[in-house]
């Protein structure tokens, strides 16, 4: 037994306190005796309170706990009633006494056993004189009591290894997302943070208890954790403080411990784990973005004091966690929510923080401006949210401090591309080539407005101007290949479930990039045909980096494996059978599970471009120095602005 719990310590109390304490420990003790001792607590010194501990400990005797089975509050004996009342009073006293180090291994077992009893029966014990049901669950006080031992390793270890403790913590966590005493907020959140950050929290049995406590499912845990994160950071202009930063850290560590795919330090999984997916479903993107915005606001207004306490490093961690979620399926679509929540404001703010910016945060800003933001500019939904977000930060990005940022050049490249894509998005309401289709009957290939066509009803991948063309194409081979479509062809049947607006936008900006680089691309096609006579090829539109890279590529490449199989071979076959009126274009961009390839053939109303390139390639001398560059240039220019229609 810890020395502080010995009954001999009662003799150190002043006479009046001593008499009350001895009476509370006598064989004839009553709840009233213990109540008289408790009455001294508000005016006692910390030392006197510790001398009272043996009396409260004595009245928490676990042998006095009624057996759960058969216990009836209506018929309990006076002895049992007295024991329950005294135990309740002792628990309430324990919660307000500053314990000496090392006492937890003795006090915790008694506290826990009595807590379990009161947790089970407290609703039936309201008639007992000292028992008043608090507004918050009993577990809130127990959590704060448990947290007082965080510097007492043996006691803390005992608490964390107690069966049922983590279930209690889960119940308490759930309650705190609904209601929290403002006066106790920092204490409660601090105690909770200490436990969820402990390695024991994510041990399988303990994590199962937490999940059961918050509602029984991983999604409920994700909901509670996300709500808790939202509670931690102020949404008003108020500044965050050091405690808030520490609380946020505990949540981030909890996320990463449960789902290693969220941890930048562990592995390189292409997909989020079950908990990461559950977090997304509970709008964690918004919560993380709000946290970034609150912390950056505090950093810019708080000066060096907040920079010194590690706020900048926490901002970096949240940015990185958000980036991981955004680039891993199915989280990549979350950038739209992040933009609406103000993530662009946070990026722009961090980029112009006073020098020297911590290297890790600077690297993070380079990554966001140079990779995360640009790579999502292929998505229609991202662009719709990006326009208003850019307007919000218009003043922020036109300052000398912003232009001095190390990430400014990357930002400028992103900004230029973003505005170009936004212009394409805005112009899509007008009639343009991306609104046209070509009949997929290779003997027809008529180009007209999309509304003039009907789709193949089986896999929704091909368009026909009339029933006769569909029958002709079906008999010409589509019957055998139709079922293979759904991976490469840009259509509603794609297994990637590309939304209609995204499909239209893909065609629009791909067509825009083609037109913008048309002369250069025709020159590259000519050079490819000269270098590889008769070799089938396609134009690859590489969107995996900030600026698109378009170049000819042989269809006989062995990598990637995506460009293989029945569908790929049928697409190549159709190009070959088109009589030069169809060119294969392929776009590639990054998604969570790797690179995503989409075939988007270019259709022309005549074969003039293909025939002219073929003739020119065969006519040119082997020695480029002998070429008539003026003739080549004029011929290419005549092909760049043809009279015939063409569309992706």
Condensed to tens digits (0 to 9), the pLDDT of residues 284-295 reads 999 999 888 888
pLDDT value for 572: 93
- Percent of the chain predicted with pLDDT > 90: 51
Which among 134, 136, 161, 133 is positioned nearest to 146, based on CA atoms? 161
pLDDT tens by residue, 265-278: 876 677 888 999 99
Which among 396, 248, 237 is positioned nearest to 313, based on CA atoms? 248
In this prediction, residue 523 has a pLDDT band, given cuts at 50, 70 and 90, of very high
In this prediction, residue 329 has a pLDDT band, given cuts at 50, 70 and 90, of low
Q: How far apart are CA 625 and CA 634, in angstroms?
A: 17
pLDDT value for 431: 45
Rounded-to-10 torsion of CA 298, 301, 302, 308: 80
Instruction: Work out whether the CA dihedral 214, 220, 221, 225 comes out positive or negative.
Output: negative
pLDDT tens by residue, 485-510: 777 887 766 666 667 777 888 888 89
pLDDT tens by residue, 219-264: 999 999 999 999 888 666 555 677 788 889 999 999 999 999 898 8
Cα of first residue to Cα of last residue in the chain, in angstroms, is: 83
- Tokens 């025939």 sit on residue: 611
Q: Contact 209/166 with Cβ under 8 angstroms? A: yes
Alpha helices in 95-215 (DSSP H): 104-121, 138-147, 153-160, 165-176, 185-196, 204-214
pLDDT tens by residue, 353-395: 876 778 888 899 999 999 889 988 888 888 999 999 999 999 9
Q: What is the DSSP letter of 544?
A: S
pLDDT value for 108: 96
Q: Contact 24/59 with Cβ under 8 angstroms? A: yes
pLDDT above 50: residue 139 = yes
pLDDT value for 433: 45
pLDDT above 80: residue 130 = no
Q: Contact 319/372 with Cβ under 8 angstroms? A: no
Q: How far apart are CA 592 and CA 335, in angstroms?
A: 13
Query: What's the pTM value of the predicted model, to 2 decimals?
Result: 0.82
Q: Which of 111-120, 374-383, 450-459 has the lowest mean pLDDT?
A: 450-459
Tokens of 348: 């722009």
pLDDT tens by residue, 580-605: 999 999 999 876 667 788 899 999 99
Is the backbone of residue 273 left (phi > 0), alpha (psi -120 to 50) or beta? beta
In this prediction, residue 564 has a pLDDT band, given cuts at 50, 70 and 90, of confident
Task: Work out the number of other CB atoms within 10 angstroms of the CB of residue 255.
Answer: 23
pLDDT value for 306: 45
Which among 243, 242, 228, 235 is positioned nearest to 179, based on CA atoms? 228
Q: What is the DSSP letter of 379?
A: -
pLDDT tens by residue, 407-434: 999 999 999 999 999 998 888 755 444 5
pLDDT value for 16: 95
Task: Work out the number of other CB atoms within 10 angstroms of the CB of residue 351.
Answer: 27
Burial of 483-513, coded b for 16+ CB within 10 Å and e otherwise, reads ebbbbbbbbebbeeebeeebbbbbbbbbbbb
Helix (H, G, I), strand (E, B) or coil at 494: coil
pLDDT above 80: residue 302 = no
pLDDT above 80: residue 95 = yes
Q: Is 445 exposed, middle or buried (0-12, 13-18, 19+ CB in 10 A)?
A: buried
Q: Contact 266/321 with Cβ under 8 angstroms? A: no
Q: How far apart are CA 642 and CA 630, in angstroms?
A: 19
Q: How far apart are CA 559 and CA 530, in angstroms?
A: 23
pLDDT value for 156: 95
pLDDT tens by residue, 205-231: 999 999 999 999 999 999 999 999 998
Q: Contact 414/546 with Cβ under 8 angstroms? A: yes
Tokens of 408: 């400014």
pLDDT value for 72: 82
pLDDT above 80: residue 44 = yes
Which among 598, 475, 486, 615 is positioned nearest to 544, based on CA atoms? 598
Domain residue limits, the chain: 1-111, 112-424, 484-647
Q: Contact 321/255 with Cβ under 8 angstroms? A: yes
pLDDT above 70: residue 133 = no
pLDDT value for 201: 96
Strand intervals (E) in 510-614: 537-542, 549-554, 582-583, 585-591, 594-599, 602-604
């Amino acid at each position: 037994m810890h020395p502080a719990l010995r009954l001999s310590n009662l003799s150190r109390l002043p006479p009046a306190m001593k008499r009350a304490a001895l009476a509370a420990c006598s064989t004839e003790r009553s709840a009233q005796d213990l109540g008289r001792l408790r009455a001294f607590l508000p005016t006692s010194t910390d030392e006197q309170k510790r001398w009272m501990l043996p009396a409260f400990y004595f009245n928490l005797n676990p042998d006095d706990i009624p057996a759960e089975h058969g216990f009836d509050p209506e018929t309990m004996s006076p002895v049992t009633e007295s024991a329950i009342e005294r135990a309740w009073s002792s628990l309430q006293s324990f919660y307000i006494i500053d314990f000496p180090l090392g006492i937890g291994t003795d006090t915790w077992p008694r506290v826990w056993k009595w807590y379990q009893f009161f947790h089970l029966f407290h609703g039936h014990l309201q008639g007992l004189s000292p028992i008043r049901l608090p507004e918050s669950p009993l577990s809130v006080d127990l959590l704060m009591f448990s947290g007082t031992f965080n510097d007492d390793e043996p006691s803390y270890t005992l608490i964390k290894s107690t069966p049922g403790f983590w279930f209690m913590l889960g119940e308490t966590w759930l309650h705190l997302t609904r209601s929290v005493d403002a006066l106790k907020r920092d204490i409660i959140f601090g105690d909770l943070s200490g436990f969820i950050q402990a390695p024991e929290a994510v041990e399988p049995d303990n994590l199962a208890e937490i999940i059961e406590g918050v509602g029984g499912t991983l999604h409920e845990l994700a909901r509670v954790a996300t709500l808790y994160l939202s509670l931690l950071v102020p949404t008003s202009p108020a500044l965050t403080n050091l405690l808030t930063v520490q609380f946020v850290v505990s949540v981030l560590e909890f996320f990463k411990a449960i789902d290693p795919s969220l941890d930048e330090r562990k592995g390189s999984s292409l997909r989020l784990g079950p908990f990461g997916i559950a977090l997304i479903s509970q709008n964690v993107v918004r919560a993380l973005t709000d946290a970034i915005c609150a912390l950056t606001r505090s950093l810019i207004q708080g000066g060096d004091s907040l920079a010194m306490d590690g706020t900048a490093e926490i901002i970096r961690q949240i940015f990185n966690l958000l980036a991981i979620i955004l680039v891993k399926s199915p989280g990549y679509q979350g950038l739209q929510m992040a933009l609406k929540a103000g993530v662009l404001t946070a990026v722009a703010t961090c980029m112009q923080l006073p020098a020297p910016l911590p290297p890790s945060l600077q690297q993070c800003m380079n990554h966001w401006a140079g990779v995360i933001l640009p790579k999502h500019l292929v998505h229609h939904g991202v662009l719709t949210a990006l326009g208003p977000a850019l307007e919000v930060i218009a003043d922020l990005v036109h300052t000398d401090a912003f232009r001095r940022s190390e990430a400014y050049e990357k930002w400028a490249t992103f900004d230029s591309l973003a505005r170009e894509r936004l212009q394409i998005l805005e112009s899509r309401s007008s009639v343009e080539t991306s609104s046209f289709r070509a009949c997929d009957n290779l003997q027809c290939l008529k180009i007209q407005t999309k509304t003039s066509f009907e789709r193949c009803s089986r896999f929704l991948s091909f368009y026909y101007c009339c029933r006769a063309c569909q029958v002709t194409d079906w008999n010409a081979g589509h019957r055998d290949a139709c079922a293979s479509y759904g991976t490469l062809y840009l259509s509603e049947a794609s297994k990637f479930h590309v939304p209609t607006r995204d499909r239209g936008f893909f065609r629009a900006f791909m067509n825009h990039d083609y037109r913008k680089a048309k002369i250069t691309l025709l020159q590259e096609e000519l050079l490819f045909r000269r270098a590889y006579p008769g070799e089938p090829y396609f134009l690859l539109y590489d969107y995996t980096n900030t600026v698109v890279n378009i170049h000819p590529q042989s269809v006989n490449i062995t990598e990637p494996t995506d460009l293989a199989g029945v569908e790929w071979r049928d697409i190549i076959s159709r190009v070959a059978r088109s009589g030069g009126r169809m060119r294969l274009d392929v776009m590639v961009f990054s998604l969570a599970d790797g690179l995503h390839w989409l075939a988007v053939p270019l259709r022309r109303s005549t074969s003039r471009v293909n025939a002219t390139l073929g003739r020119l390639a065969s006519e040119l001398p082997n020695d480029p120095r002998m070429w008539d560059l003026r003739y080549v240039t004029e011929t290419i220019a005549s092909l760049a602005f043809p009279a015939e229609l063409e569309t992706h």
